[in-house]
A and B are shown apart, each in its own frame.
Chain A
Amino acid sequence: MMGDLIAWLFSFFILLAVLALVLYQIMCFLDLETDYINPYELATKINNIMLPEFITQGSLCLLHLVTRHWIMFLFCLPYLCYNVNQYIHRRHVVYATEVFSELSRQKRQRIFKLVYLGFLLFFSIFWMIWSIVDEE
C-alpha cells in the first residue's frame, strides 16, 4: 500500500507541474494583453512550453494507467486526446502574426484547461488522502 501512496504523491506533483505550465501560459497571454511582452516573445515562450506540457500530461496519464488508477486515467484521457489532436493538426503552435485575433480563443482554451486540471487536482488529493486513510 505504501507504493500506492507514493504513486499518488508522484501523480500529484506531476499534476502540479502541468497546472503550473498552463498557468504560465495564461500569464503570458495576459502579459501580451497588457503590452508587457510583444507577440514575438509570446510566440517563442508559448511554443517552447507547449510540448513539455503535452509530455508531462501524457506521462501523468501513463502513470495512472500503470498504477491502475482507472478512474483518474479516464479523467485524464479526454485531455490527452485533445492534446494529441491539437498536436497532429499542429494547432498548438502560436504564430506571432495572428496572436491577437486568436487571443481570446487561446485564453479561453487555457482557462478551461486550468479548471479541468483543478478538478483533477481535487480528485487526486481526495484519493491520496483516501489511500492514506485506507492504509491505517
Chain B
Amino acid sequence: MGPENSNKANNYPRPTAPFVPPQTNSPFTSSRPVIGSQPSPFTPTSAPTPPTTSPSYPPGPVSGSSGPAFRPVQTGRPTPPYGPPTSGPFQRFPTQPFPLSSQPPPPHTSPVVQPISSPITRPPPSQFPPMSNFQNRQPPIPTMPVNGVPSSINGPPMQQPPPSIGSTHPAVRPAQTSTWPGYPGVQTSSAAPVSNQGGYVAPPPTSSVPFSSHQVGYGPTPPVASPLGMYGGPTPPTGGMAGLVEDFSSLSIGSMPGSYDAGLDTKVLPRPLEGDVEPTSFAQMYPMNCNSRYLRLTTSAIPNSQSLVSRWHLPLGAVVCPLAESPEGEEVPVINFATTGIVRCRRCRTYVNPYVTFTDGGRKWRCNICALLNDVQNDYFASLDSNGRRVDLDQHPELTKGCVEFVAPAEYMVRPPMPPLYFFLIDVSIYSVKSGMLEVIAETIKSCLDKLPGSTRTQIGFITFDSTIHFYNMKSSLTQPQMMVVSDLDDIFIPLPDDLLVNLSESRTVVDAFLDSLPSMFQDNLNVESAFGPALKAAFMVMSQLGGKLLIFQSTLPSLGVGRLRLRGDDIRAYGTDKENALRIPEDPFYKQMAADFTKFQVAVNVYAFSDKYTDIASLGTLAKYTGGQVYYYPSFQAAIHKDKLRHELARDLTRETAWEAVMRIRCGKGVRFTSYHGNFMLRSTDLLALPAVDCDKAYAMQFALEETLLTTQIVYFQVALLHTSSSGERRIRVHTAAASVVADLGEMYRQADTGAIVSLLGRLAIEKSLSYKLEEARNAIQLRIVKALKEYRNLYAVQHRVGTRMIYPESLKYLPLYGLALTKSTALRGGYADSQLDERCAAGFTMMALPVKKMLKLLYPSLLRVDGYLLESSMKADVFEKVCKRLPLAAESLDSRGIYIYDDGFRLVVWFGQMLSPDVFRNLVGEDLATDFSRVSLVRDNEMSRKLMDILKKLRGADASYYPLCHLVRQGEQPREGYLLLSNLVEDQVGGMNSYVDWILQIHRQVQQ
C-alpha cells in the first residue's frame, strides 16, 4: 500500500488539501473528480483491498499495530477524539477555540483568489479578513482551495484539525498556490465520468493527520474505489476496522435493555448545543459545489444500488433554498450571455457549470449530467491551456462557481417581465378594528412604501371587506381615493377594473392618503360578518392580468358567500379516530380551486390571521400552500402586545428581495430521479415547481429514487435551476450545481449523512402524513424510521465489535434521535386535542413546511441561555456575551431558581425569572411590584442592567430577520403561562405523556435491539 500511496500523490496534478503537507492526500482532495487523467493510478487500490478486510486486524483499540502496512500515517492519528470505547458512554471531541479557526482564511484567500475569481462579483481579497467569521459559518467561496479552509473549520468539532495545524498551514500554502494551475486537470479528466471513479474513492490513503477522525469514516472506502464490478455486494464493514478504534459513536446504556432504571447519564446524551453543524467533508470534497445554504443533501454519499437505498431507511433527498441570503461579499455572480445565449446541454438542458469539461481544444464541452458532447459556440470559445482548462476561466464565474445567476433572454419569457405587484385584501370587520390590527398594518404598509422592491415599476392595490366588498380607485389624477362598495356577493363585478391596481410612484399621494385614512374610515364599524370568499374572487379578478403578491389580513372566520366556513371546531371526539385528519385539511374545495387558479395566474398568497377564535387556518392556509406563500398567525392579536411582531414581519414580507413568476426544476444525473416534492408550491408538471413568488425565507424539500438497480457513474450531479423575474424586471435563472459521490457502502452513507437535511425532510413528511392520517401515526412514522436506520447501522458493526448493550450511531447522526423527539413534540405534531389548538397546529404545520434547515433546527431545539451572570457583571461588554452565555440542555433541570433564562426558538423569546432571584435584579428589570401581571409588564427601563438585557434580546433577534420573536416574560411558578410558554417546550423533559429524552433514547435503543 505504501507505494500506492506515494504513487497517488505524484499523480495528482496538485495537492488540493490546503492544510496538509502535499504528500499526504487529504480525503477531500482525492475524492474530487479531479483525479489525474487516467484512472489507472487507482487500480492498485482495488487490488490491495483484500488485506483491509482480512480479519487479521485486531478490532480492538490497537490502532497502530497493523496500521503501518495499510496506512502509513495512521499511527500519527490522534486517538483522543475517539477515545477508548469504554472511556465514556458518549464521545466528546475537543472543540477548537474559535480564534484559531478564523485565522487561516486570509492568507489563503489572497493568493488563490486572483487566478480564478471573477472580477465582477468577487470582492478584492482585502475584504476577506474582516469577514472571516462569516466564512467560518458557511464554507462557501467556491474557489477551490479556499474552500477547504473555512469549511474544515466549520466542521463538527471532531473534525477539527489539532492546533498544530496552524503551523503546518503556512508551510503548505506556497506549494498549494503553485500547483493551483493543475486544477484544470479536473476538467479534462472528469470529462468521462468513468474516469472519475477513483474520484471518490481516493480518500483511503488519506490518513493525513489533521483530519484523522474524519478518515475513520473512510475506512471502508477503498472497496468503493474499486471498479464497480469488483465490489458488488455491500461492503463488509470490516474494512473500516483496519487499525481503527471504532467507526461509530456510542452511548453506554448501563442496565439491560428492558429495565427502566438505566444507568444512562443524562449529561452525556448528545445535544446540538452549537446549533446546526453542517457536514463539511462534502464541501471539501467538491469545493465547486454551491454553498450548503442553497442545497443540502440528506446524505452526500449517493447509494449505488436499490438494495442500498432500501437499507438506508432515512429519507433520501435534498432541501433547497434557492434564494438564501448570502452574506456580504459572497453575492451570487450575475452573468449575461448577451451574444451567445445561455449555454446549455442540447439534450438534457443542463446549464453550463463548473463540472462540465471542455475537450477537443475547447471546441466541445461534455455535459456532466448526461455526458453528451456539445459544440461550443464561437462566441463562447476559448482555447485550452496545457492542463486542459480554458484560458479565460477567470472571466467565467459559471465555470468556477456552483452558484450563479444568468440573465435570461427573450426565449425564457412568455410575456414581458411583470412588475412587482402587491395587493392587499384587508378584513375591516369589528375585530380587526378593535384589536388594532388595521392601524398597525396601515402604518406599516405606509412606512414600507419607499422600500418596496422594483422602484418605479411597483404596482399596488387594496380591497377591504366585511359583509360587503370595498374597492378603491387610486387613479393618479385623484387626490383622495374613491371608495366603491359592492354588496352583491353572488355575482362579483369589478368596478373600474383599470384603476384598482395602480403604479405606486404615480399614485403615491393617493395611496398615502388612503393608508392615512384607513383606520379612521372603519373605526366605528360594527360589522361582524366576513365575505372573504367573494372578496378573494374579486382580488383574483383584479390581479389575474399581472400576477403578484396578495396579502390577506383576516381576523374572523369567513361567513358570507362562496367559501364560507363553519365552526367545525376542534372536536375532542374526533381525535384518535379516522376523522381526526379531516380537521387539518381544507373543508371547502373552493380554497383548493382558488389556490390552483392563483398559481396559474402567478399570484402568491400570504395569509395573516389574527383571530382569537377558530379561523380555520387549515382552509385559509391552503391558499398559501399551493401558491408558494406563507401563513402568519397571531392568535388573539392585540396591537399593544403583538404590534412589533406584526410590524416587523409584514415589513420583512414587503421589502425582502422577491423573485416573481418563478418556476424551479432540479435536474440530476442519469439513473437518479426526483420523485416527490415537499413544501409550499404547486407542481406544474412531474418535476416543475411553480412558484409565483419566492424569497430567501422559503425552502423546498425533495426526495429522489434510483431508476436503475445499479448506478454506473461515480458521481451524481444535481442542478437546481430557478427561472424567475427579478424585482428589477429582468428575467433571470439562478443555477445551483452540486456533485456528490456514489458509494457502494452503507456505512459511508451513514457517515456522510446530514442530520439537518434529514430532520427537515422527516418533518415535512410527518406533517404531510398528519394531513391524511392520525397524529400518532405521523409521530410513529418518525420514530420507526429512526429505529430502522439505527438498527441497520448497528447490524453493520454488531458482528465485529462487541457493542453489547451500548447504543451505537454514526457520528453524523448523533442528534437525530433528539431532533426526532423534538419533531414529535413540535406544535404541529404534538399530543392530541389538548396539547395545541387546532389553528396553531395548522399554522405551525404550514410554517414548518417552508422553513429553511437552520431555522427548522432552531425551532426544534431552541436555545436556552442563562443570562443573570452576564447581567450582573457590569464590566462585560456585549461581545463576550456568547462566551458567557452558553446554550443549556432544554430540560427543567437546567433552570436554577436563582437565575434568569432566555428561551429562544426563533419565533418567540421567553425570559424566565427564577423565584429566588435577588430582589434587586428583579426590581431593576421589571419594576417594584412583585405581583405585577407578567404578560403586560415592559422590560424597557432606564438602568444599565435593563439596557443590557434589551441588548441581548436585540442580538438574539438580529441573528435572523425572517421572523420577529416576540418577548414573553414569565416567572417561575406562574401557571399556566409558565407551562404554556416554557415548560411544555423543554423537549428533553417528559411533558404531557410524551417521552423525556432519556426514555426516548431507551425506547429507541430497545427497539433497535429487538
- Tell me the A residues contacting B by CB distance below 8 Å: 32-33, 35, 38-40, 43, 90, 93, 95-101
Cβ-closest chain B residue relative to A33: B686
Cβ B600 vs Cβ A40 within 8 A: yes
Cβ A97 vs Cβ B595 within 8 A: yes
A84 CB to nearest chain B CB (Å): 19
Decide: A95 near B593, CB < 8 A? Known: A40-B600, A101-B676: yes
20 A-B residue pairings within 8 Å (CB atoms): A32-B685, A32-B686, A35-B685, A38-B684, A39-B596, A39-B682, A39-B685, A40-B596, A40-B600, A43-B596, A90-B589, A93-B589, A95-B589, A95-B592, A96-B600, A97-B592, A97-B596, A97-B622, A97-B682, A100-B683
Q: Which residues in chain B, 964-989, are within 8 Å of chain A measured between CB atoms?
A: none
Interface residue B365 (Cβ < 8 Å from any Cβ of A): no
Output the nearest chain A residue to B683 by Cβ-Cβ distance. A100
Complex Cα distance, B815 from A125, in Å, reads 64
A109: shortest Cβ distance to chain B, in Å? 16
B211 at the interface (CB under 8 A from A): no
In the complex, whether B626 has a CB less than 8 A from a CB of chain A is yes
Given contacts A32-B686, A39-B685, 6 further A-B contacts (CB under 8 A): A38-B684, A40-B596, A95-B592, A95-B593, A96-B600, A101-B676
Q: A40-B596, A43-B596 are in contact. Are A97 and B686 (CB under 8 A)?
A: no
Shortest beta-carbon distance from B169 to chain A in Å: 51
Contacts of B676 in A (CB 8 A): 101
Shortest Cβ distance from A37 into B: residue? B685
Contacts between chains A and B (CB distance < 8 A), count: 36
A35–B686 touching, CB < 8 Å: yes
Q: Which residues of A have CB within 8 Å of B600?
A: 40, 96
Which of A40, A90, A95, A96 has most chain B Cβ within 10 Å? Answer: A96
A95 CA to B595 CA in the complex, in Å? 10
Known: A90-B589, A95-B589. A100 touches B686 (CB 8 A): yes
Given A90-B589, A101-B676, are A95 and B596 neighbors across the interface (CB < 8 Å)? yes
CA A101 – CA B684 in complex, angstroms?
Answer: 12
Interface residues on B, range: 10 to 19
Q: Which of B723-737 contact A (CB under 8 A)?
A: none
Decide if A97 touches B684 in the complex (CB within 8 Å).
Answer: no
Min C-beta distance of A39 to chain B, whole Å: 7
Which 9 A-B pairs give the minimum distances between C-beta atoms?
A96-B596, A100-B683, A97-B626, A95-B592, A35-B685, A97-B596, A97-B592, A97-B595, A97-B682
Chain B residues, Cβ within 8 Å of A98: 592
Contacts of B589 in A (CB 8 A): 90, 93, 95
Q: CB-nearest residue of chain A relative to B591?
A: A97
Scan B586-614; emit 1 where CB is below 8 A from any A CB, else 0.
00010011011001100000000000000
The reply to whether B683 and A39 contact each other, CB–CB distance below 8 Å, is yes
Q: Mark B450-488, 1 if CB is under 8 A from A, else 0.
A: 000000000000000000000000000000000000000
The residues of A that contact B599 with a CB separation of less than 8 Å are: 97
Which residue of chain B is the closest to A98 with respect to CB atoms? B592
Q: Is the CB of A39 within 8 A of B592?
A: no
Measured between C-beta atoms, what is the minimum distance from A93 to chain B in Å? 7
Q: Which residues of B contact A38 (CB under 8 A)?
A: 684-685
Q: Can you name the residue of chain B whose Cβ is closest to the Cβ of A95?
A: B592
CB distance from B109 to the nearest CB of A (A): 45
Q: Which residues of A contact B685 (CB under 8 A)?
A: 32, 35, 38-39
CA distance A90 to B686 in the complex (A): 25
Complex CA distance for A80 and B626, rounded to whole angstroms: 33
Distance in angstroms between the alpha carbons of A49 and B98 in the assembled complex: 66
Q: What CA separation (Å) do A97 and B622 show in the bound complex?
A: 10
Nearest-Cβ distance from residue A57 to partner chain B, whole angstroms: 23
Chain B residues, CB < 8 A from A43: 596
Q: Are B684 and A39 in contact (CB under 8 A)?
A: yes
Mask: chain B, 677-714; 1 = CB below 8 Å from A; 0 = not: 00000111110000000000000000000000000000
Binary contact track B650-692/A, C-beta < 8 Å → 1, others 0: 0000000000000000000000000010000011111000000
Once bound together, how far apart are the Cα atoms of A100 and B690, in whole Å? 13
A35 to B589, CA, bound (A): 25
A90–B587 CA distance with the chains assembled, in angstroms: 11
Most B-side CB within 10 Å, residue of A40, A95, A97: A97
Q: How far is the CA of A102 from the CA of B290 in the complex (A)?
A: 33
For the complex, what is the distance from the CA of A33 to the CA of B685, rounded to whole Å?
7
CA distance A90 to B588 in the complex (A): 11
- Complex alpha-carbon distance, A122 and B686, angstroms: 36
Residue with the greatest number of chain A CB neighbours at <10 A, chosen from B595, B676, B685: B685
The interface residues of chain A lying within 8 Å CB-to-CB of B595 are: 97
Which residues of A sit under 8 angstroms from B682, Cβ to Cβ?
39, 96-97
Task: List chain B residues, Cβ under 8 A from A99.
Answer: 683
- Please name all residues of chain B whose beta carbon is closer than 8 Å to the beta carbon of A96 when the two chains form the complex: 596, 600, 682
CA distance A42 to B686 in the complex (A): 13
CA A67 – CA B676 in complex, angstroms? Answer: 49
Return chain B residues, CB-CB under 8 Å to A95: 589, 592-593, 596
Give A41 Cβ to nearest chain B Cβ, in Å: 11
Name the residue on B nearest A34 (C-beta).
B686
- Interface digits, B563-607 against A, CB 8 Å rule (1 contact, 0 not)? 000000000000000000000000001001101100110000000
Closest A residue by C-beta to B594: A97
The smallest beta-carbon distance between A42 and chain B, in angstroms, is 10
Q: How far is the CA of A104 from the CA of B905 in the complex (A)?
A: 38
Chain A residue numbers with a CB within 8 Å of B592 are: 95, 97-98
Docked pose: A40 CA to B684 CA in angstroms = 9
Closest B residue to A36 using CB positions: B685
